A and B are shown apart, each in its own frame.
Chain A
Amino acid sequence: MFDFLDSGQYDLLGAFWVTVQLTLYSAVGSLVWGTVLAGMRVSPVPLMRAFGTAYVNLVRNTPLTLLIIGSSLGLSQTLGFNMGGSTFKETGFRLAVLALSAYTGTFVCEALRSGINTVPVGQAEAARALGLSFFQVLTLIVLPQAFRAVIAPLANVLIALTKNTTVAAAIGVAEAALLMKEMVENEADALFAVFGIFALGFCLLTLPTGLLLGWVAKRVAVKR
């Protein structure tokens, strides 16, 4: 039933390794971009708030597939931004990371913003009474507590991101979903075995993430 695995025709581990890499790079990208966005959305400057709100609402209502295809067809092929990638493989990977970060950043931003709301008003007031500026209040007092409060929601964002990396198949990044598509076409008689392998692979990727970060979230929670 699983003999197609012995043929050496399919690089199963390689495909899942691409999935893992996509997830890690996009997680870092979206965490940075999401934090910047959240900072803008709570800032005292109306123009930045407006930009943050508009960005989040527009990008969240656009399909991720459109963003990824747009980064490939629009950014790369039409405008010639190749993200420094020299080969087709490299370029596709970097474009996918860019689109995934741009999309996932909005969810990180919203999670962080709800985390900022969990910090009691008195803390910020006390910080201001000490003479800290907005930037200092945000980075020294509020964000560290907000991050600890939103680890569980961020874990869910990370799990969704792991699943969303499959969309990169739309621009030919050789990750798990693309390999699965190839395998179900070639090994039609082993459809359930193929599906089972990929399902198991994703369970192995997402379940430990949820458990580990759930445990971390409980440990670092700010007791109030």
Chain B
Amino acid sequence: MTSVLYDVPGPKAKVRNWIYTAVFLVLFALAAWWILSVMADKHQLDADKWSPFVTDGRVWTTYLLPGLGETLRAGAIAMLIALPLGALLGIGRLSDHAWVRIPVGAVVEFFRAIPVLMLMIFGSAFFVQFVPAVSSDIRPLYAVVTGLVLYNAAVIAEIVRAGVLSLPRGQTDAAKAIGMRKGQTMVYVLIPQAVTAMLPALVSQLVVILKDTALGGSLLGLTELLAANRQISANYSNTIATLVVIALVYIAVNFALTSFASWMEGRVRKSKKSTGAVLAVAEVDDLAAGAD
């Protein structure tokens, strides 16, 4: 393993690296031992705190899997609405007409500046007051989806805009030269190529959407995956074990989503429909930060 920062290690450097490794290992082991001993003191390592997740199928069928289902449902609905809406807003921001470009830009900047949690709280109050037809048991889902859509459509709009702008100028010129109209240029030339460039950015945004559904559980009463922690730890009094298992489920789902996306990206790239440009993280504001 070589890098900009260091050479292939010689005999001295190898010894030094071994010392660093040993020191790091000792520090890490000390920290781990300390945490584990505190956990053992508070009886958090007892087998009966962790065994329900393996032996008692009801933990999964009653709490975790329905919770995961609700998380995926809220995430999927929000993605399905936010993706096309975001694409529309992104294209609107690129419009040649100021009367389209400016208001769309204002909307996008406004919703990007507001925390998604506030949009969810607003959504919840909005449905209580103006749409009483939404009954109280489905209201949390509506509120969470509303908040997620408003916020993420704005972020996706920025991704789409950056994706289209990342294409070489010659693409538009060539489309014009063969007599395509603006709409045709966008639909047949720019968007298909931009999609490949946008894929990594879009998928990290989908991960953000999935993670953000957890906000609905703690503050708006959505019965999603994280909210399952209350019922499980009430039944088995194993707060830490439950939180660890729930975190692992989130990590597994998000990891699967990311892996699927990089596989997709490879496929799309191989079909040679794109310029091969990849959107750098810095080009899109909220990605670098993974706004939660």
Name A residues whose Cβ lies closer than 8 Å to a Cβ of B. Answer: 42-48, 51, 57-58, 60-66, 69-70, 73-74, 77-81, 103, 107, 110-111, 114, 116-117, 119, 121, 124-125, 128, 134, 137-138, 142, 152-153, 156-157, 159-161, 163-164, 166-167, 169-170, 176-177, 180-181, 184-185, 188, 191, 195, 198-199, 202-203, 206-207
Instruction: Check if B113 sits within 8 Å of A167, measured CB to CB.
Output: no
Q: Are B219 and A160 in contact (CB under 8 A)?
A: no
**Residues in A neighbouring B265, C-beta threshold 8 A:** none
Residues of A within 8 A of B113 (CB): 199, 202-203, 206-207
Which residues of the other chain, B, contact A128 by a CB distance below 8 angstroms?
A: 6-7
Binding site for A on B (CB under 8 A): 1, 3-7, 9, 13, 17, 20-21, 24-25, 28, 38-39, 42, 44, 110, 113-118, 121-122, 124-126, 128-129, 207, 211-212, 214-215, 217-219, 226, 229, 233, 239-240, 243, 246-247, 250-251, 254-255, 281-282, 285-286, 288-292
Cβ contact within 8 Å between A62 and B291: no
Q: Which residues of A contact B243 (CB under 8 A)?
A: 66, 69-70, 73-74
A114 touches B115 (CB 8 A): no
Nearest Cβ in chain A — how far from B162, in angstroms? 13
Closest A residue by C-beta to B13: A44
Chain B residues lying within 8 Å of A124, measured Cβ to Cβ, are 4-5
Knowing A44-B9, A51-B28, A160-B290 are in contact, say whether A170-B219 is a contact too (CB < 8 A).
yes
- In the complex, 14 of the A-B residue pairs with CB atoms within 8 angstroms, ordered by the A residue number, are A48-B21, A63-B211, A65-B215, A70-B240, A79-B240, A124-B4, A137-B6, A159-B289, A167-B292, A170-B219, A180-B118, A188-B129, A195-B122, A199-B114
Q: Report the separation of the CA atoms of residues A185 and B211 in the bound assembly, to the nearest whole angstrom.
A: 26
Chain B, residue nearest A162 (CB): B115
Q: Do B125 and A185 have beta carbons less than 8 Å apart? A: yes
